[in-house]
Each structure stands twice: as structure tokens, then as C-alpha cells.
């Protein structure tokens, strides 16, 4: 039996596939860890132990019967509570969806289960994925495993913290403006936001449809690659999914580990716009050191420019609030989720249900979005944001003419303390400053650990690839990981 703490997802899968241990044993071990450790961390909103055991037993039965138990056989994973699972309460950490049990399954969770992965339960998040600290969860905060006084980042904070604390070996997340990469950076794990349309959004509760990217978390680059390989692919239920064949992500991650100079011939662009005053000096130092390491691996470091970066945050918040105000219109108390009691009119049903059901941040974004879209102002706000978005996407296309991938910090600051930013939405919105542009451009971006601050908080390195260039991200990430040991460090454990 392997030690669950720090075990990589691929090592567990290899063991289950080889019969070294059963999926059920692994599942019990992880469920036990969740039971012992999650009280202090608050990663899980729901532990689906019955479902997990059923899935694990199915994997073991398949193996015993001589059938292929799947490329993720027995992999214990956590599911962000934004992915619908048939028969499992799915709430987006919002009061308005309390008690909502979907009668359908998201394409991502269906594909993961079909590949043999064992979902242990649903993970905490900022309500409707709106936030950068998971403090906006209507249920509870999630603590950063490296320091319980600090936030895990967000919105996929439960996913990042659960993987960092080895409560699961991998997890799903969604990234609308950095919601996979920023918590991955703050919790010291790997998070991957793929190309827009690479992973189906069917069954993933929408925040901002044109920016929402489902993706994986892993302890290692290869773990994330293994998960993404299964999650990816065209889906007839998502008209925006891309019909291109899925790349060999695991192989790309492994290729990065081979030889002395696995990145020979690879040009890595460093955009000056991503190293601005206000960045924590410890982060800049760590990222510069990572660039040196990547150069030693054979990469050529080249300066690139993404001149419209300064418009990214404004553009992002115009588009995401507009889409959010639209996507959240369906929560009216008529068909599912919360319905306010004792209402005397239709209007009161709406106002009371939505007033009681939504937290502060969704309300703020609904109002901003309704304002952005109101008649007569479309061109001034949304229309202009769409044009700026095009410019930002063009920046990336131009930059990728002279480099193969772009390397930047993931977050300008390490994990912050609870309450430090929650009262200042603008400050919170700036947590996304280095991550939103790839969402606007739809290009893939990976975050992986590249060091720690003196106070022991993780630092993240962001590797951005061109559209459908997931493989180069994994290759560069694999190369960097094989030359460093950040990913082998464990967060302190307190039961």
C-alpha cells in the first residue's frame, strides 16, 4: 500500500492497474484522510462515500474480470461543486441551489468515471465561482493547507487545498479569470486551464459562458495531464467544444523530463507587462529563478509584448458580469433550488428568492452586468469590451509568432489572510490581473509550484501556450518540475 499523503495520481493509477492494491483500498484510505483532516480545512461540501465505494468496486470488478479498468483506474479525485453529478447535490456553494440534485451528469464527470476515476465528493468554492479566495462560499471557508490563517485562493479553493493536503490525488476546477491557476499557485499544486472549447462545459454550472474553462488540478504536471487527457474532447452537448483530436498530454509532460536539455529549441516569451510594480518581490525573484532554470533546460528566453494587458481586467469584468447577470437569471424559485416562503405575488417570489438565495458577490455582479447590458449602453460597455477582447487575443497571436510559450508569475502575491481583501472588491479583482488575459484569449495556461516565500507560502509559475497548445505547456512544466523539488514538499498536517 502506498502512502496516500503526497502520492501522485499516476502512481496510484499504475498501482491499481497493476493490481498492487485495489481501488477500494485506495478509496478507503483517502476517505479516511478526508474524515480525519477536512474538519480543519473545509475542502469538501459533500462527501459521496457511497458513490465513491461503488465507483471503486466497479474498477476492481473490471480489473478482476480482465477488462481494462481505464486510464484513471482508482484515481481518487474531488469534484468542484460546480459540476453536476446525477443524484448528487450540486450547489455551487450557493444558498439558492441548496438541495438541488441534478438528474443529469456533466460530460467531464461522466468521462472521468468512465475512465475509472473515483470521485470522493464535491469541493468548496466561491459562490458561483465568483471570487479569488473561496471566502464567498455560502457554506464555509476553506483554509490554505500551508497556513490555516491564509486563504487557498479561488474560486476553486476547495479543489486546490484538497489536492495540496492529499485529501484527493486530483480534482476538477473551473477557471473563468484564474479560478484554477490562482488557487493552484496559492496552494502549491498544478492547475491547468485548457484552450476554450477543449473541455466540454455541459453540466458545468455557468458563471460567464464565454470565459468558463473546466480543467484539472494535480500534484504533478503529469497528474494534471493525465486528467486533462480524459476530460478533453468534442462533446455533442456543447456547441462550443472543439472537434480537434485530443493531444498526448501525459507524453508531453514526460518528454519534458527526458535528457539534459529537454527544452532545446523551445522559445519562451517573457512579457514585460507581467512584471510590474506592485508584484511581491519574493514572487518576482522566484519566477526569475525559474526562468533561469528553464534556460538551463535548453529553452531560449525571449522578450515578448502583450501591449493590451492593461485593459484585461476592465474587459474581463465587463464581459463576465454581463454574462453572469444573464446566466443567473434562471434562479427564480420556480423550478428548482431555493423558493422563498410566504410570497404574495410573482414579483415577490423573484425578489425574495433571489434576495435570500444569492450572496453579496453574485448580487454585485448581477447588478454590474445588468448595468453593462442596459439598452443604449451596449456599445459603450459590452461592445467595447468585445473589441478590447479581440485586441488582447491578437496580442497573444502576435507574441506566439516569436515564441512557443509565455512564462509569467501566476499571482502577483502569495496567499493572503482571511478578511484581508474581502471588504475591498477592487483589490480582490486585482488578484486575477495575471490570469484573466488567457481566459479572454481562450488560450491554455498552466500554473505549477516554483518556490515558497520566506513565510512558507507557495509561489506559482504560469506557462501560457497558443490555442490548442496544451502539449507545450505540459512539456515546459514537466521539464521545470523534473529539475526542482517544490512539488515533493508536503503541507503540514494537523488533524
Partner 1 sequence: MATDWETVIGLEVHVQLATRSKIFSWSSAEFGAEPNSATDPVCLGMPGTLPVLNRSAVESAVRLGMAAGCTIRARCRFARKHYFYPDLPKGFQISQFDEPICEGGAIKFRLKGEPRAIRLTRIHMEEDAGKNLHAAAGVSFVDYNRAGVPLCEIVSEPDVRSAEEAAEYVRAVRTLVRYLGIGDGNMEEGSLRCDANVSLRPRGSEKYGTKTEIKNMNSFKNVRDAIEHEVKRQATLLDRGERIIQETRLWDASRGVTQAMRSKEQAHDYRYFPEPDLPPLVVTELEQVALRASLPELPEDRFARYTSEGLSPQDAGVLVADRETAAYFDATVAAGAPAKRAANWLINELLARVDDPRKLGEADCPVPPAALAELVELVEDGTLSGKLGKDVFVKMWSERRAAKEIVAAEGLAQVSDGGALEEACQRVIAAHPGEAGRFKENPKLMGFFVGAVMKETGGKGNPKAVNEILRRLLG
Residues carrying an active site annotation: 80, 155, 179
Binding-site string for partner 1 from residue 373 to residue 412, where x marks contact by CB under 8 A and - marks none: xxx--x---x------------------------------
* Contact between 244 and partner 1 per CB under 8 A: no
Binding partner 1 by CB under 8 A: which of 18, 61, 296, 346? 346
Q: Which stretch, 113-121, 270-278, 308-316, 330-338, contacts partner 1 (CB under 8 A)?
A: 330-338
- The nearer residue to partner 1, 102 or 414, going by C-beta atoms, is 102
Sort 260 into a burial class: Cβ within 10 Å, 0-12 / 13-18 / 19+. exposed
Q: CB of 197: closest distance to partner 1 in angstroms?
A: 9
Binding partner 1 by CB under 8 A: which of 3, 65, 66, 236? 236
Binding partner 1 by CB under 8 A: which of 14, 21, 209, 314? 209
Binding-site string for partner 1 from residue 189 to residue 208, where x marks contact by CB under 8 A and - marks none: ------------xxxxxx-x
Q: Which stretch, 40-48, 149-157, 307-315, 329-337, contacts partner 1 (CB under 8 A)?
A: 329-337
* Contact between 426 and partner 1 per CB under 8 A: no
| Residue 464 · residue 408 · CB < 8 Å | yes
Sign of the Cα torsion 25, 30, 33, 35 reads negative
* Helix, strand, coil abundance in the chain, percent, nearest 5: 45, 15, 45
- The nearer residue to partner 1, 1 or 334, going by C-beta atoms, is 334
Q: How far apart are CA 239 and CA 350, in angstroms?
A: 30
* Contact between 362 and partner 1 per CB under 8 A: no
Q: CB of 151: closest distance to partner 1 in angstroms?
A: 26
Element (H, E) at 437: helix 436-441
* Number of residues lying near partner 1 (CB under 8 A): 44
* Contact between 314 and partner 1 per CB under 8 A: no
Q: CB of 333: closest distance to partner 1 in angstroms?
A: 10
The separation between the first and the last C-alpha atoms of the chain, rounded to the nearest angstrom, is 22
- The nearer residue to partner 1, 336 or 418, going by C-beta atoms, is 336
DSSP class per residue in 3-52:
-STT--HHHHHHHHHHTSS-HHHHHHHHHHHHHHHHHHH--EEEE-HHHH
| Residue 435 · residue 462 · CB < 8 Å | yes
Structure letter (DSSP) for residue 495 = -
* Contact between 238 and partner 1 per CB under 8 A: yes
Q: CB of 89: closest distance to partner 1 in angstroms?
A: 12
- The nearer residue to partner 1, 103 or 281, going by C-beta atoms, is 103
| Residue 53 · residue 24 · CB < 8 Å | yes
Contacts (Cβ under 8 Å, ≥6 apart) of 251: none
Binding-site string for partner 1 from residue 83 to residue 102, where x marks contact by CB under 8 A and - marks none: xx-----x-x----x--x-x
Contacts (Cβ under 8 Å, ≥6 apart) of 84: 90, 102, 104, 105, 106, 109, 203, 204, 205
* Contact between 311 and partner 1 per CB under 8 A: no
**H and E: helices and strands count for the chain:** 16, 11
| Residue 442 · residue 466 · CB < 8 Å | no
Q: CB of 358: closest distance to partner 1 in angstroms?
A: 13
Q: CB of 170: closest distance to partner 1 in angstroms?
A: 21
Q: CB of 279: closest distance to partner 1 in angstroms?
A: 32
- The nearer residue to partner 1, 102 or 269, going by C-beta atoms, is 102
* Contact between 296 and partner 1 per CB under 8 A: no
Cβ atoms < 10 Å from Cβ of 346:
11
Contacts (Cβ under 8 Å, ≥6 apart) of 486: 188, 449, 450, 451, 452, 458
Sort 347 into a burial class: Cβ within 10 Å, 0-12 / 13-18 / 19+. exposed
Q: Which residues make up the interface to partner 1 (CB under 8 A)? A: 82-84, 90, 92, 97, 100, 102-104, 106, 201-206, 208-210, 236-240, 322-323, 325-326, 328-330, 332, 334-336, 346, 350, 370, 373-375, 378, 382
Amino acid at each position: 500500500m502506498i502512502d496516500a499523503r503526497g502520492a501522485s495520481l499516476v502512481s496510484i493509477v499504475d498501482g491499481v492497474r497493476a493490481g498492487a492494491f485495489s481501488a477500494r483500498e485506495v478509496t478507503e484510505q483517502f476517505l479516511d484522510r478526508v474524515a480525519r483532516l477536512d474538519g480543519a480545512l473545509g475542502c469538501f461540501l459533500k462527501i459521496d462515500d457511497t458513490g465513491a465505494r461503488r465507483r471503486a468496486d466497479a474498477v476492481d470488478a473490471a480489473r478482476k474480470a480482465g477488462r481494462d479498468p481505464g486510464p484513471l483506474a482508482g484515481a481518487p479525485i474531488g469534484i468542484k461543486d460546480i459540476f453536476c453529478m446525477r443524484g448528487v447535490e450540486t450547489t455551487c456553494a450557493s444558498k439558492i441551489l441548496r438541495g438541488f440534485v441534478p438528474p443529469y451528469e456533466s460530460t467531464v464527470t461522466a468521462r472521468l468515471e468512465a475512465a475509472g476515476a473515483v470521485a470522493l465528493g464535491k469541493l468548496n468554492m466561491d459562490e458561483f465561482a465568483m471570487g479569488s479566495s473561496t471566502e464567498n462560499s455560502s457554506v464555509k471557508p476553506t483554509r490554505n493547507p500551508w497556513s490555516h490563517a491564509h486563504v487557498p485562493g479561488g474560486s476553486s479553493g476547495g479543489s486546490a487545498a484538497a489536492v495540496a493536503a492529499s485529501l484527493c490525488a486530483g480534482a476538477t476546477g473551473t477557471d473563468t479569470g484564474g479560478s484554477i491557476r490562482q488557487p493552484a499557485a496559492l496552494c502549491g499544486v498544478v492547475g491547468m486551464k485548457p484552450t476554450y472549447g477543449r473541455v466540454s462545459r455541459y453540466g458545468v454550472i455557468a458563471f460567464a459562458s464565454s470565459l468558463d474553462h473546466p480543467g484539472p488540478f494535480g500534484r504533478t504536471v503529469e497528474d494534471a495531464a493525465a486528467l486533462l487527457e480524459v476530460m478533453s474532447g468534442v462533446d455533442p452537448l456543447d456547441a462550443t467544444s472543439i472537434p480537434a483530436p485530443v493531444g498526448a498530454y501525459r507524453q508531453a509532460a514526460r518528454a519534458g523530463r527526458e535528457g539534459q536539455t529537454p527544452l532545446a529549441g523551445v522559445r519562451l516569451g517573457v512579457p514585460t507587462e507581467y512584471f510590474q510594480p506592485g508584484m511581491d518581490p519574493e514572487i518576482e525573484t522566484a519566477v526569475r529563478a525559474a526562468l533561469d532554470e528553464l534556460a538551463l533546460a535548453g529553452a531560449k528566453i525571449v522578450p515578448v509584448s502583450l501591449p493590451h494587458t492593461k485593459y484585461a481586467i476592465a474587459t474581463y469584468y465587463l464581459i463576465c458580469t454581463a454574462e453572469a447577470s444573464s446566466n443567473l437569471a434562471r434562479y427564480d424559485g420556480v423550478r428548482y433550488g431555493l423558493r422563498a416562503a410566504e410570497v404574495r405575488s410573482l414579483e415577490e417570489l423573484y425578489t425574495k428568492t433571489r434576495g435570500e438565495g444569492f450572496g453579496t458577490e453574485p448580487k454585485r455582479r448581477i447588478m454590474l452586468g445588468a448595468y453593462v447590458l442596459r439598452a443604449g449602453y451596449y456599445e459603450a460597455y459590452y461592445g467595447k469590451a468585445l473589441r478590447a477582447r479581440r485586441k488582447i487575443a491578437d496580442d497573444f497571436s502576435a507574441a506566439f509568432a516569436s515564441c512557443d510559450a509565455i512564462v509569467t508569475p501566476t499571482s502577483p502575491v502569495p496567499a493572503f489572510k482571511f478578511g484581508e481583501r474581502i471588504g475591498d472588491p477592487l483589490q480582490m479583482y486585482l488578484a486575477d490581473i495575471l490570469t484573466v488575459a488567457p481566459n479572454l484569449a481562450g488560450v491554455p495556461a498552466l500554473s505549477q509550484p516554483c518556490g515558497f516565500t520566506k513565510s512558507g507560502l507557495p509561489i506559482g509559475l504560469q506557462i501560457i501556450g497558443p490555442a490548442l497548445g496544451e502539449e507545450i505547456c505540459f512539456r515546459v512544466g514537466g521539464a521545470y518540475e523534473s529539475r526542482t523539488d517544490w512539488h515533493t514538499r508536503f503541507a503540514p498536517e494537523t488533524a
